[in-house]
Structure 1
Amino acid sequence: MKNLFLFLALLVFSVSVNSQENQVQQDSTKTEKLDEVLLSATRAKDKTPVAFTNITKVELESVNLGQDLPILLNQLPSVVTTSDAGAGVGYTGIRVRGSDATRVNVTINGIPYNDAESQGTFWVNMPDFVSSVEDIQLQRGVGTSTNGSGAFGASLNIKTLKPSSEGYASTTNAIGSFGTRKHNISFGSGLKNNFYAEGRLSNIQSDGYIDRARADLNSYYLEAGFLNKRTAVKAIVFGGKEETYQSWYGTPEAVVNNDRDEIKAFIDRNFPSESDTQNLLNSGRRYNFYTYDNEVDNYQQTHYQLHVSHQFNTNLSANLSGNFTRGKGYFEQYKDDEELGDYFPNSSNASDEGDVIRRRWLDNDFYALVYSFNYKKDALNLYLGGGYNIYKGDHFGEVIWDSFPSLIPIRSNYYFSYGEKSDYNTYIKAEYDISDNLFALLDLQYRRVDYKSVGTSSDLLDINVKETFDFFNPKLGLTYKIDNYSTVYGSLAIANREPNRDDLTKNPIRPKSERLYDFEFGYKLKTSNLYVIANLYYMDYKDQLVLTGDLDDVGDPIRENVANSYRAGIELQAGYKVSEQIRIDANATFSQNKIKEFDYVVYDTQYDTNTFESVSYEPVITQFKDTDISFSPNVIFGNTLTYAPIKNGSVALLSKYVGKQYLDNTSSNRKSIDAYFVNDLNLSYKIQPKWIKEIAFNVLVNNLFDSEYVSNGYTYSYFYRPLNSNDAAITENFYYPQATINFLAGITLKF
């Protein structure tokens, strides 16, 4: 804390000294240098010995027609994306090296974005945010020290727009398949007497590929700041409000495959209502389990950021950032044939049955303070940084309508719990040029996490959690410059990660934290027309938390620690400028992702054939060895072929191959997602008439060859058999079908 007070004192003094400087800063190189202070401590640079990829706003513009951020990153190495609604709008997800969003650390201007309790990221709360992004860096593996939850697969580092030196205004309007449309306006004042202001308003709507999977998404971004030769101050407010019809349930495998016999078998063993039966029989692969008119997710989130960067002298610079995030919302559900005791167990009429409409709420606040100092002299580049975050969240449910015979006051709360999490980290990072050809990195981070939760869960189970975790995360790496075109690098990083809220509140056996040893070794070649990058990685996990088939007290899946597991692979990237008109960029990942040994659990329910009541309910445990980690394809390939036949006009073919994925950790072909190969076509053309700065036309044809594929899913198995019979286990697979051929077309006017 002494460092923070010293920084503030120096900052106040320095700003007062420099307040007389009213010269407008028009030098773009100086503007960029000050802007880089904000993220210099956590971003990888060319010499940094980690695997990373940068993507700029210019590269994103032609495909930014309304789809969520993960979908726009689909062509990056080792990346697999998915969309619940099938068309890239609404709830979307990203995996990197097989690691899901809970293991990908996300920061926006250095501020943590992952949800503190679940550790996931919900891009639906930030529609069209890419329109306010300057660039994005994806670090694969542990990467460099960053803020927030531990990076166990990758780090996604997002930087918002840098100040424009000139005033501007622009609008983008796009329409597409499934009623998709996007409308936004952006504006900026340019630098006026060292001050500037910028903003954006956006609306995105879509009916979704999946039935009823509509989305109505609104967002805004406002920024104002001060910039001179030494100091940059920026205040940012951005947020979004979303209402999406739920499509979380997935589609039964038999329905996806249009197998009428298997659909009927699914109906026979699951006893749906008559209306649900007709839905299963008639909807096809666009099936949505939910049919209630207002089965929606409704959430609003607002972020307030303040960043101060200052260059004290040629050697010393610093940054201080503060953040407050306010979030509140619910998802609404219709549930039929419920018992009153499932909501109010102490009721005198607990056995009453009826239908219910309920809302499950989140009401949370997140505070963050992030700081960094950078001292650079000669061959040494030294960083001291860290952050302190506090999350406070209420979880509660209310009944807004019911048909119980007993009278229940409207909006009665039937559960409530409170969660609080504090997260402190500090790090010191040294970069040193040992010689003209040899560069060294040492990065040492200490992180402390305190979490507590009290109250009652949505399943009416008591919650009483109080845990503290202390982690030391060291990183060491070397980069050697072979010649003016090629380098090699190697690094070792250790990362630790705490269990999430569900792990701590649902698991009857308190799980341990996870640890990762990440070994990376790479080669880079860059010339004027060619680049080649090869990266070998070995990620050795201790006590990784995975699904084993085990269930909690109310039948929900829980994760358990497995002693040893790993991810090992090679990532290849290459790009070649064939001519002024033709360019090829490709990447491929070949990997093995294994759990060395774990116990898989399937519950065996045996019933009396006369009464059909359960007689026994016992776990059946099978030991598996050297099995594939779920959702971790052994092959991922991406390719972009760009042809620019005329000035300011281009056509790009974007191809993506994703190998077979397993739905659980048993390596069972019966529970898997088939490999898929999908191609998109992107057309872009810009004109610059005299009366306007620019008009840009963009067209995106997704799934050009009309493939029917799925990109995500889940599975569960169970025994349900007469007493003493030997019937086999039943397996239910559910998938998330992705849209067949579809398009988005947009026009952008820049003034």
Structure 2
Amino acid sequence: MRNHLLLLPALVLTQQLQAQHTETKDSSRQLNGVVIYQAGKNTPVTYQNLDMTSIREKNTGQEPSFLLTATPAVTNYSDAGNQQGYSYYRIRGIDQTRINTTLDGMPLNEPEDQGAYFSNYPDLFTSLSAVQIQRGTGTSKNGAASYAGSVQLFSPDLKDPQSTTFGLGYGSYNSFRAFAEHKSGVKNNKAFYARASQIYTDGYKDHAFNNSQSAFVSGAIFLPKSTWKVNLMAGHQQNGMAWLPVADTLIAKNRKTNANTKAEKDEFLQSLLQVQHQWQPNNHSILNSSVYYTYLNGGYGMDVNNYYGEASDGNLFHYNFRSHFAGIFSNYTLYNDHFSWTTGIHANLYTRRHLGKDDALGELYRNRGNKNEASASTRLEYRLQRFTFFGDLQYRYVTFDYIGSVGLPQVNWQFLNPRGGIDFAANDHLSFYYSIGKTSREPTRNDMFAGNDDLPIDSSAGKPIINKDPESVIDQELGLKIKCEKFALQLNGYYMNFHNEIVLNGQIGPNGLLLTNNVNSSYRTGVELSATYQLSKSFTLTNNSAYNHSVIKEDKTTFKPVLTPSLIINQEVAYHHRQWVLAVTGRYQSSAYIDFANTAQLDGYFLLNARAQYSLQRYTFSVFVNNVTNAHYYNNGATDGRGNVSYFVQAPANFYAAVKYSF
């Protein structure tokens, strides 16, 4: 799915309570034991709080999808082949248009095509204070459906102590990153944060460069019973396009071959504004409210002749977009020692102009998509001795209007998403949980229009080509959690039963977006493991693995969904001693099909990455070596209508070195 069409919304306003870290050193944000937006310690859903210390050690300004793959059941690939520029991730084999993404509770999924991508906000993870990944339907979220799961991001913790950091890095393929970050700490009940970053790479593949800049500014006022916070974020990026897979015959001659022409480029500017307010009228209630706005402007050029396999004449077709996205939400939480009850409302308005221009013919079309949403949810967690009972109910109402040369009546969807579960704490170290939830989801604009940016007329029927049927999933999660002084483990099994699932068919549409089909019956089931063992004072072992068994049933035949490997194993060995951090990570990913008919597949592969870090007074020096064994592998591909197979090549052995100065 193309990054620049499924754009991560940018000027946004949100709310989040800037709270303290939990006692268990995870990334949950709480106030007096009340978890805001996230799943808490006893919430019976499958989730993982990322270790932000480890994230900061690994972070080189790369696309966040490379950091997310260290968690169970997450796969990714990169257009350019290296870790900067457009990249994409999937949870349990399900693409990111079906993964809810929020920042401080604010939806980041672009409403029309529902994708949330990080390329328009490069180096975003440098500014985050916490990340929680929920797999499965999880808890109710604002915005796009939490279908495969959710990725919840949290802005800088302005209560961090004062510091200033400068960073500089350089690596393979002329990749470099420079950033500056300042935290004021709380002074006179006020706090301020600012970061600016510049990232560049030539890309592993030919003419697949990325040149991007971003800034994040945050400020807050802390009053006796309330907090006001404002976040401003902006990003600008330019890329040499590399979204076409490459035929294996061309790869055999030159692995850096780019199937897109050198003239195909994009440029996007996106900005985000969030305004948040948190009010605590007493010791048993909190009201969190937020407004947000996002602005996007940009586009990309496409060589149509090249796309259809014909000789290029240098003429480009340009897809241009401009969007506005504004919304508001508010949550009221009532709590005591035994229960937490949160009820919230959310509404947003979205409009995006689509403009198609040809170098030779000029403007060929313009249309507009308007998509609006309103939702309400209520969630209760009740603790009774060693049991925690969980119930969650969400109602979503969504409308879509298309204004173009072809008339289309307004499309409406209504969804009722119930969830429930139970957690049992056997003792202070061991707990079990079970949950079941249903989530329904409307198709994307691309799904409805079969990959067309401008709605065509079906000559045979005289009606627009459209598929407006929603898809739904019933997700069951069963798991156990163990937490001891030196050992922590979460093991869960899941069974996701889909109705009318919208799945990739392995082909790419005329606008560069991946095409889909509906299937009547399908399911995904598997086992996921996340474990950490403190082998000694200096050595830590971390394992994040997943086994997936997925089946689609259609026309009395069964087959597996595309890009869904059955086995993923991540194993890291880390050494921390005084000023040194040394780590080696191995990743095995089994084979996966890349076409609907299961006739073409990607081979399984093994990657070995290593990193070293040394701290000297105010300086931190880091060296990263990726793909140490120089493995030649693909982790995505496609087939065309004639059955030809092509692939996305990923980079061989490469390095990156960085230095940070903090005071």
Global fold match (TM > 0.5)? yes
- Within the candidate set 305, 325, 330, 2:299 is matched to 330
| Equivalent residues in 2 for 1:386-401, closer than 5 Å | 386-399=345-358, 401=359
Q: Indicate whether 1:365 and 2:324 are aligned.
A: yes
Aligned to 1:687: 616
Alpha-carbon shift at residue 378 of structure 1 (Å): 3.1
Distance across 1 between alignment mates of 2:20 and 2:640: 60
- Residues 516 and 539, structure 1, Cα contact 8 Å, conserved in 2: yes
Tell me which amino acid in the other structure corresponds to 1:513: P
Aligned to 1:385: 344
- Within the candidate set 499, 520, 535, 2:477 is matched to 520
Distance across 2 between alignment mates of 1:364 and 1:120: 14
- Residues 338 and 354, structure 1, Cα contact 8 Å, conserved in 2: no
Higher helix share: 1
- Within the candidate set 702, 717, 724, 2:641 is matched to 717
How has the CA–CA distance of structure 1 residues 502 and 291 changed in structure 2, closer, same or farther, with 3 Å as cutoff?
closer
- Within the candidate set 552, 556, 567, 1:595 is matched to 552
| Equivalent residues in 2 for 1:196-595, closer than 5 Å | 196-256=191-251, 258=252, 284-292=254-262, 294-335=263-304, 356-399=315-358, 401-402=359-360, 412-434=362-384, 436-456=385-405, 462=406, 464-506=408-450, 508=465, 510-548=467-505, 558-595=515-552
Q: Deviations over 1:230-268 (max 9, x none)?
A: 211111110100000000112112223x2xxxxxxxxxx
- Within the candidate set 622, 626, 648, 1:698 is matched to 622
CA RMSD of aligned residues (A): 2.6
| Equivalent residues in 2 for 1:27-176, closer than 5 Å | 40-176=35-171
Which is worse superposed, 515-524 or 51-60? 51-60
How has the CA–CA distance of structure 1 residues 716 and 656 changed in structure 2, closer, same or farther, with 3 Å as cutoff?
same
How has the CA–CA distance of structure 1 residues 549 and 205 changed in structure 2, closer, same or farther, with 3 Å as cutoff?
closer
SS of residue paired to 1:130 = helix
Alpha-carbon shift at residue 503 of structure 1 (Å): 2.0
How has the CA–CA distance of structure 1 residues 465 and 679 changed in structure 2, closer, same or farther, with 3 Å as cutoff?
farther
Identity of aligned residues (%): 27
Alpha-carbon shift at residue 573 of structure 1 (Å): 2.1
- Within the candidate set 645, 660, 663, 1:748 is matched to 660
- Within the candidate set 622, 644, 647, 1:732 is matched to 644
Tell me which amino acid in the other structure corresponds to 1:714: A
Alpha-carbon shift at residue 225 of structure 1 (Å): 1.1
Distance across 2 between alignment mates of 1:535 and 1:337: 46
Q: TM-score, normalised by structure 1?
A: 0.80
How has the CA–CA distance of structure 1 residues 481 and 552 changed in structure 2, closer, same or farther, with 3 Å as cutoff?
closer
Distance across 2 between alignment mates of 1:556 and 1:375: 44
- Residues 41 and 383, structure 1, Cα contact 8 Å, conserved in 2: no
Alpha-carbon shift at residue 324 of structure 1 (Å): 0.4
- Residues 38 and 109, structure 1, Cα contact 8 Å, conserved in 2: no
Q: Deviations over 1:281-300 (max 9, x none)?
A: x5x111012333x4211001
Q: Which has the higher contact order (CA 8 A, sep 6+)?
A: 2
Alpha-carbon shift at residue 708 of structure 1 (Å): 0.5
- Residues 506 and 594, structure 2, Cα contact 8 Å, conserved in 1: no
Tell me which amino acid in the other structure corresponds to 1:625: T
Query: Based on CA coordinates, which of the two structures has the bigger radius of gyration?
Result: 1
Aligned to 1:344: none
- Residues 184 and 200, structure 1, Cα contact 8 Å, conserved in 2: yes
How has the CA–CA distance of structure 1 residues 38 and 326 changed in structure 2, closer, same or farther, with 3 Å as cutoff?
farther
SS of residue paired to 1:125 = coil
Which segments of 5 or more consecutive residues in structure 1 lack a partner in the other structure? 1-24, 259-281, 340-352, 403-407, 457-461, 599-623, 689-693, 719-730
- Within the candidate set 556, 559, 584, 1:653 is matched to 584
Which segments of 5 or more consecutive residues in structure 2 lack a partner in the other structure? 1-17, 451-463
SS of residue paired to 1:208 = coil
- Residues 177 and 200, structure 2, Cα contact 8 Å, conserved in 1: yes
How has the CA–CA distance of structure 1 residues 288 and 338 changed in structure 2, closer, same or farther, with 3 Å as cutoff?
closer
Aligned to 2:601: 672
Which is worse superposed, 704-713 or 499-508? 499-508
Alpha-carbon shift at residue 27 of structure 1 (Å): 9.7
- Residues 71 and 530, structure 2, Cα contact 8 Å, conserved in 1: no
Distance across 1 between alignment mates of 2:483 and 2:465: 53
- Residues 635 and 648, structure 2, Cα contact 8 Å, conserved in 1: yes
Aligned to 1:642: 574
Q: TM-score, normalised by structure 2?
A: 0.90
How has the CA–CA distance of structure 1 residues 713 and 465 changed in structure 2, closer, same or farther, with 3 Å as cutoff?
farther
- Residues 507 and 639, structure 2, Cα contact 8 Å, conserved in 1: no
Distance across 2 between alignment mates of 1:34 and 1:522: 23
How many residues end up aligned between the 2 structures?
627
